Amino acid sequence: MSTGRPADDVLADLAALRAADPPTHGGRVLSYVYDPGRPDLDEVAAQAVRLFLPVNGLDPTTFTSVAALERRIVAFARDVLHGDEGTVGSVTSGGTESCMLAVKSARDLWRAAEPERAHARPTLVLPTTAHPAFHKAAHYLDLDVVPVPVDPATGTPSAADVLAAVDGRTALVVVSAPSYPFGAIDPVAEVAAGAAARGVACHVDACVGGWVLPWWGGVDQPWDLAVPGVTSISADLHKFGYAPKGASVVLYRERGRHHAQYFATTAWPGYPVVNPTMLGSRGAGSMAAAWAVLQVLGTDGLADLVGVTRTATDRLVEVAAAIPGLRVVGAPTGPLVALAADGSAAEQVDPFTLVDAVRRRGFLLQAQPAMVQADGSVLPRTAHLTVTAVTHRVVEELVQALVAAADEVRGRPAAVPDASLAGRVLTEGLPDELAGVMATLEALPGEVVHPLLVAVLAAAIDPSQE
Ligand SMILES: *Cc1c(COP(=O)(O)O)cnc(C)c1O
C-alpha cells in the first residue's frame, strides 16, 4: 500500500536516477548510445513521442496515423537501401526484432516449400561475427545455427566457406554490412548470388550500416537491396537514424516474404488477430519520433552527420594504428572499430586493461572477449568503439585518452581469469575495474558463463536489491 505523491517529487526521483547513468550525450560513451550532437533533434523526437504516446499500433485500420507513418518510413528506407516497387517491410522495436522477423519469414517459407519440411528444423548459416540476435532467433524459432569462421585478419568469412555450409536444410544465410565486432562488411554480393543459385534466402544485417554506409564514401562493394539475391535487410533507426530507442526497419524484396513474417489467428472468441511483428499492443511513439528525425534531417542531413562521423573515425583509426602495442582489427568500413593487442609482450597493450584505463580518463569503450572458432583459429580480445556524429567534437580528447591509457598499461601482463571473481560478483556486484571479470568470462565455457551472466543481470533487477 502506498499514498500517491506529487508529480514533481516523482519526476525529481526519476531525474536523480538518470543522474547516476553514464552521459548519453557528448560522445563519452562509445557504445549503446548514438548522439547526433543536435539538441533540436532530441526536441523534435520528444514532441513526436508525446503526440503519439496514447496511440496503439496494434490496429492500423483503427489508428490510421500509425499506418501512414509506417508506410512513409518503409518508403524512405526502401529508397535509401535501393529497393524497388516490390520492396515492402515493417517498422519494428529494434534490430533484434527486425532480425528475428527475417528469420521467422525465411523459416516459414522454407517449411512451406516441401510437405516433408512442415515440421522439420532448418538451419541458419552465419559468420561467427553475425549479431547474437540471430542466435536468439534460432533459439526462439527452433533453427540450428551453422557458424562459419571468419578470417581473424580481416574479420570477414570467405563467400566459398559460407556457401559450403548451405544445404537443403538452410532456411536463411546471414551476412552483415558491417558486422558489429570488427566493423567489416561481409562478401554480400558473392554470398547472395550463391544463395540465390541454391534457392536459399539471404538477409543482410545492416542494423548499423543501413543508415551510415549510403553516405560513407569509398565503400568498395554493393551491400544492400541493389545486390541480386538479397531477400531481406534490417536497418536500425535507433542507431544511425538517430531516433530514440525502439525503432528499426526490416525490408523484404518481395511481398510474399513480408507476409510470411505475420501472425494471424481467429482461434479465440475475441477480435480477429493479425500481428505483423512480435508485439501485440505496440507503442507508436518511437515510430513517430524516428519519422520526425528522418524528416528534419533529410538525406542531406544524414549525409552531413555521416561526414563528421567518418572524419572522427578516420582520425581514431589513424591514431590507434600508430599506438605501439595496439592494432586496428582488419580494415573497418563504417563507424565501428576494434583494437587488439599487437607486438611483443614487452610492448603489448591488453585491450581489457586499456578499457579500464580509458574509463579512468572519462571515456567508455566496450571490451570484447577473444573467441576460438570451429576451425581452431582465434579471434582476438578487443576494445570496441562505436563512433557517432558527436564524436568529432571530442575526438582529440578521446585520442589523447587512448594514447595516455596505452602508455600507462603498455607491457603489463594481459588480464587473466580469476575463478573467485564469479562468486564475488554475485555477492558484491561488479567491480569498477572490469578487466579481470572480462578475462574470467572469456576463459570459462559457455555452459558456465551463461547462467552466471543471467544471475548477475537478474540480481540487478531483483526487488530485494531496493
Ligand atoms: C545493434 C545490432 C543488432 C541488434 O539490434 P538491437 O537494436 O540492439 O536489438 C543487430 N545487428 C547488428 C549488426 C547490430 O549492431
Distance from the CA of 203 to the center of ligand 1, in angstroms? 14
Q: Whose CA is nearest to atom 14 of ligand 1?
A: 207
> In which region does residue 12 sit, left (phi positive, over 0), alpha (psi from -120 to 50) or beta (all else)?
alpha
User: What's the CA gap between 125 and 129, in Å, rounded?
Assistant: 12
Same domain, 102 and 250: yes
At 268 the pLDDT is 97
Q: Is 205 close to ligand 1, i.e. is its CB under 6 Å away?
A: yes
The total domain count for the chain is 2
**Ligand 1 closest atom vs CA 176:** 13
Q: Does residue 181 contact residue 382 with C-beta atoms inside 8 Å? A: yes
Distance from the CA of 223 to the center of ligand 1, in angstroms? 17
Q: Whose CA is nearest to atom 8 of ligand 1?
A: 95
Distance from the CA of 95 to the center of ligand 1, in angstroms? 4
Q: Does residue 188 contact residue 204 with C-beta atoms inside 8 Å? A: yes
Q: Is 131 close to ligand 1, i.e. is its CB under 6 Å away?
A: yes
At 227 the pLDDT is 98
Q: Is residue 453 part of a domain?
A: yes
Q: Is residue 447 part of a domain?
A: yes
* 95: CATH: 3.40.640.10
Q: Using alpha carbons, list the distances in angstroms from residue 96 to 133, 171, 224, 235.
A: 5, 18, 19, 10
Q: Is 94 close to ligand 1, i.e. is its CB under 6 Å away?
A: yes
> Which of 98, 239, 245 has the most ligand 1 atoms within 8 A of CB, as the residue to mutate?
239
Q: Whose CA is nearest to atom 4 of ligand 1?
A: 95
At 218 the pLDDT is 92
Q: Whose CA is nearest to atom 7 of ligand 1?
A: 95
**Are β-strands 88-92 and 248-252 bridged in parallel, bridged antiparallel, or unpaired?**
antiparallel
Query: CB count, 10 Å around CB of 434?
Result: 18
Please choose, from the candidates 84, 53, 76, the residue with its C-alpha nearest in 3D space to the C-alpha of residue 66: 53
Which residues have a Cβ under 8 Å from the Cβ of 61 and sit 6 or more positions away? Answer: 67
Q: Is residue 362 part of a domain?
A: no
Distance from the CA of 133 to the center of ligand 1, in angstroms? 7
Distance from the CA of 96 to the center of ligand 1, in angstroms? 6
Same domain, 287 and 430: no
Instruction: Please state the pTM of the whole predicted model.
Output: 0.97
Which residues have a Cβ under 8 Å from the Cβ of 414 and sit 6 or more positions away? Answer: 341, 348, 350, 352, 353, 381, 439
Q: Which of 237, 271, 293 is the last residue of a domain?
A: 293
Q: Is 236 close to ligand 1, i.e. is its CB under 6 Å away?
A: yes
Which residues have a Cβ under 8 Å from the Cβ of 445 and sit 6 or more positions away? Answer: none
> Cα angle at 241 between 395 and 285, to 5 degrees?
125
Q: Is 180 close to ligand 1, i.e. is its CB under 6 Å away?
A: yes
Q: Is residue 280 part of a domain?
A: yes
Q: Which of 242, 259, 293 is the last residue of a domain?
A: 293
Q: Is residue 57 part of a domain?
A: yes
Q: Whose CA is nearest to atom 12 of ligand 1?
A: 207
Cell numbers for 459: 540480481
At 293 the pLDDT is 98
pLDDT by residue for the chain (466 residues), tens only, comes to: 799 999 999 999 999 999 999 999 999 999 999 999 999 999 999 999 999 999 998 888 899 999 999 999 999 999 999 999 999 999 999 999 999 999 999 999 999 999 999 999 999 999 999 999 999 999 999 999 999 999 999 999 999 999 999 999 999 999 999 999 999 999 999 999 999 999 999 999 999 999 999 999 999 999 999 999 999 999 999 999 999 999 999 999 999 999 999 999 999 999 999 999 999 999 999 999 999 999 999 999 999 999 999 999 999 999 999 999 999 999 999 999 999 999 998 999 999 999 999 999 999 999 999 999 999 999 999 999 999 999 999 999 999 999 999 999 999 999 999 888 877 887 887 888 899 999 999 999 999 999 989 988 998 899 987 7
Q: Is 96 close to ligand 1, i.e. is its CB under 6 Å away?
A: yes
**Are β-strands 123-127 and 248-252 bridged in parallel, bridged antiparallel, or unpaired?**
unpaired
Please choose, from the candidates 308, 305, 371, the residue with its C-alpha nearest in 3D space to the C-alpha of residue 338: 371
Distance from the CA of 335 to the center of ligand 1, in angstroms? 14
The b/e string for 287-323 (b: 16+ C-beta within 10 A; e otherwise) is bbbbbbbbebbeeebbebbbebbbebbebbbebbeeb
Range of the domain at 106: 47-293
Q: Is 95 close to ligand 1, i.e. is its CB under 6 Å away?
A: yes
Q: What's the chain's length in residues?
A: 466
DSSP label at 272?
Answer: P
> Cα angle at 74 between 48 and 101, to 5 degrees?
105
Q: Is residue 309 part of a domain?
A: no
Q: Whose CA is nearest to atom 3 of ligand 1?
A: 95
What is the Cα Rg of the chain in Å? Answer: 23
Omega of the bond leading into 178 within 30 degrees of 0 (cis): yes
Q: Which of 276, 293, 310 is the last residue of a domain?
A: 293
Q: What values do phi and psi take at 349, rounded to 5?
A: -110, 115
User: What's the CA gap between 348 and 225, in Å, rounded?
Assistant: 42
User: What's the CA gap between 62 and 297, in Å, rounded?
Assistant: 29
Q: Is residue 338 part of a domain?
A: no
Q: Is 107 close to ligand 1, i.e. is its CB under 6 Å away?
A: no
At 425 the pLDDT is 80
**Ligand 1 closest atom vs CA 206:** 13
**Ligand 1 closest atom vs CA 238:** 7
Q: Is residue 242 part of a domain?
A: yes
Distance from the CA of 250 to the center of ligand 1, in angstroms? 12
> In which region does residue 411 sit, left (phi positive, over 0), alpha (psi from -120 to 50) or beta (all else)?
left
**Ligand 1 closest atom vs CA 96:** 9
**Ligand 1 closest atom vs CA 95:** 5
Instruction: Classify 142 as helix, strand or coil.
Output: coil
Omega of the bond leading into 147 within 30 degrees of 0 (cis): no
Q: Does residue 106 contact residue 234 with C-beta atoms inside 8 Å? A: no
